[in-house]
């Protein structure tokens, strides 16, 4: 079976005014039970065609279809592809580029695939056979371009979308799987969400709209007695750091442009040849503001630092104890773990007193803090010395 992937009658209503038959078709597709996996997002007929073929296939049968390759890689078809892998009904998928004009009337950059499905009565045992970037059928004779991915492999490589990863060769696939077995993904969607790298997604450290009161120009700082050293302003122990903007950087080049007054110019090759040359920014910001926004620290500690000042000391103390305890637990020294945890929760603390993070801290696993934000033994010793020598805060006195 061949499907062109075209769906003029089901395209965006902004380009094709809806008629009553079209509205009824949309309603049937979206609200009916016939296409639970592919009636997602902007409706296109080729995923519906694939799901229909899957549903009418005999349990012992097979189906071969020619479809756009997006059936395995697009976000709108991820539920369909995930179902194929979970039920082991995907036998093979061979992706082609139309560069050699296999379909003369189709653009040469168009990608299509040979999709083979198998019935539930004869599921694929080891996984589906895949190949990508083929240009002619004879490319399938090259065994190095064919590789097999199982349901577990898909979950390892693309745990969030469960779409099909693309590789040019079997070797590429095996190398990538070996890397992912050792190194976790950036963020794994929940529940529960896993963020092993402690990544925070944000537009930037500073906003031109909300943080502009922190910015100082070269003229302002020099008038206040600051001295430019390299591209950093200093005055005694105080420091102002350059505020880099996107226009100052490029791919693999952190010295793409520099400011001269209020305008930028490209940095010359001769300037780039000088390792001591530094780009100048339009604005500078206090070093203290930068340090508050970029340190790698556990969420518990970050939250503790945001607690009102009258409770902040003991809450920060508790967070540091848990962080240090995580290191010693990983090292197998439970005696030091118990000492730190005892310091974190003095005997007088109860669930009813002013420790605003008590219940939350009790539920946290200190090992996770060490795994995500690793400390060295020297870090822990300095931290523990300050914790254990500091006076233990007593219960709040009633007026």
In a domain, 199, yes or no: no
Q: Are residues 253 and 322 in the same domain?
A: no
* 187 located within any domain: no
d(C-alpha 51, C-alpha 80), whole Å: 8
Q: Which of 241, 268, 290 is the last residue of a domain?
A: 290
Token readout for 200 is 């925070």
* 147 within some domain: yes
347 lies in the same domain as 228: no
pLDDT band for 285, please (50, 70, 90 cuts).
Answer: very high
- For residues 49 and 135, state if they share a domain: yes
Question: Where is the domain boundary, 182, 200, 233?
Answer: 182
Same domain, 100 and 234: no
Alpha carbon separation from 319 to 137, 309, 366 (Å, rounded): 61, 15, 9
Confidence tier at 356 by pLDDT (50, 70, 90): very low
Asked if residue 104 is part of any domain, the answer here is: yes
Kindly state whether residue 3 falls inside one of the protein's structural domains: no
pLDDT of residue 13: 46
Instruction: Give the chain's domain count.
Output: 3
DSSP characters over 104-173: TTS-TT-EEEEEEEE-TTS--SS-EEEEEEE-SGGGGG-GGG-EEE-HHHHHHH-TTT-PPP--SSHHHH
- How far, in Å, CA of 295 to CA of 174, rounded? 36
pLDDT for position 18: 59
DSSP per-residue letters across 72-97: HH-GGGHHHHHHHHHTT-EEEEEEEE
Please check whether residues 22 and 154 belong to one and the same domain: yes
Q: Which residue has the higher pLDDT, 261 or 47?
A: 47
> Residue 247 domain-assigned?
yes
Question: pTM of the predicted model, to two decimals?
Answer: 0.58
CA–CA dist 28, 45 (Å, integer): 13
- Determine the pLDDT at residue 190: 76
Residue 37 belongs to a domain: yes
| Domain identity same for 21 and 143 | yes
For residues 40 and 83, the model is more confident at: 83
Placement of tokens 């100082």 in the chain: 216
For the cut 50, the answer to whether the pLDDT of residue 360 exceeds it is no
Residues 291-318 have pLDDT tens digits of 777 766 777 777 777 778 787 887 888 8
Do 174 and 258 lie in one domain? The reply is no
- Residue 238: CB partners within 8 Å, gap ≥ 6? 286, 287
* 307 and 165 inside one domain: no
Residue 169 shares a structural domain with residue 284: no
Q: How far apart are the first and last CA of the chain?
A: 84
Which residue, of 182, 197, 232, is where some domain finishes?
A: 182
Give yes or no: residues 12 and 143 share one domain. yes
Q: CB–CB of 77/38 below 8 Å? A: yes
Same domain for 160 and 307: no
271, pLDDT greater than 50: yes
Is the domain of 166 the same as that of 42?
yes
Range of the domain at 334: 299-389
DSSP 210: T
What are the Cα distances from residue 367, in Å, to 199, 301, 316, 359? 18, 14, 18, 17
Strands 128-134 and 111-118: unpaired
> Is there a domain that residue 399 lies in?
no
**What is the reported pLDDT for 89?**
96
Mean pLDDT of the 200-204 span:
70
């Amino acid at each position: 079976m061949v499907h062109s992937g075209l769906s003029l009658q089901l395209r965006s209503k902004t380009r094709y005014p809806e008629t009553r038959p079209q509205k009824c078709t949309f309603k049937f597709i979206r609200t009916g039970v016939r296409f639970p996996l592919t009636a997602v997002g902007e409706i296109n007929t080729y995923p519906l065609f694939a799901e229909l073929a899957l549903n009418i296939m005999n349990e012992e049968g097979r189906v071969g279809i020619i479809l756009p390759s997006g059936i395995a890689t697009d976000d709108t078809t991820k539920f369909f592809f995930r179902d194929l892998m979970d039920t082991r009904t995907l036998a093979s998928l061979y992706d082609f580029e139309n560069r050699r004009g296999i379909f003369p009337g189709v653009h040469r950059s168009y990608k299509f695939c040979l999709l083979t499905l198998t019935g539930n009565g004869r599921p694929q045992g080891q996984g589906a056979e895949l190949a990508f970037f083929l240009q002619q059928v004879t490319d399938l004779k090259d065994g190095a371009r064919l590789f097999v991915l199982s349901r577990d492999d898909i979950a390892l490589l693309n745990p969030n979308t469960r779409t099909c990863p693309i590789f040019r060769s079997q070797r590429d696939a095996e190398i990538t799987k070996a890397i992912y077995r050792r190194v976790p993904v950036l963020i794994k969607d929940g529940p529960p969400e896993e963020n092993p790298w402690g990544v925070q997604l944000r537009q930037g450290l500073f906003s031109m709209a909300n943080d502009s009161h922190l910015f100082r120009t070269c003229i302002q700082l020099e008038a206040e007695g600051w001295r430019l050293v390299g591209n950093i302003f200093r005055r005694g122990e105080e420091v102002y750091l350059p505020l880099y903007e996107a226009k100052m950087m490029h791919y693999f080049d952190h010295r793409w442009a520099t400011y001269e007054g209020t305008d930028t110019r490209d940095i010359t090759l001769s300037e780039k040849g000088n390792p001591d040359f530094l780009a100048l920014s339009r604005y500078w910001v206090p070093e203290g503001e930068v340090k508050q926004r970029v340190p790698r620290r556990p969420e518990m500690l970050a939250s503790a630092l945001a607690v009102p000042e009258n409770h902040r000391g003991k809450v920060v103390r508790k967070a540091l104890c848990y962080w240090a305890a995580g290191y010693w637990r990983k090292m197998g020294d439970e005696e030091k773990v118990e000492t730190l945890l005892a310091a974190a929760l003095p005997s007088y603390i109860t669930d009813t007193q002013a420790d605003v993070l008590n219940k939350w801290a009790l539920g946290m696993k200190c090992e996770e803090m060490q795994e995500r934000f690793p400390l060295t033994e020297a870090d822990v010793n300095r931290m523990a010395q300050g914790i254990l020598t500091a006076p233990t805060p007593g219960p709040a006195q009633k007026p």
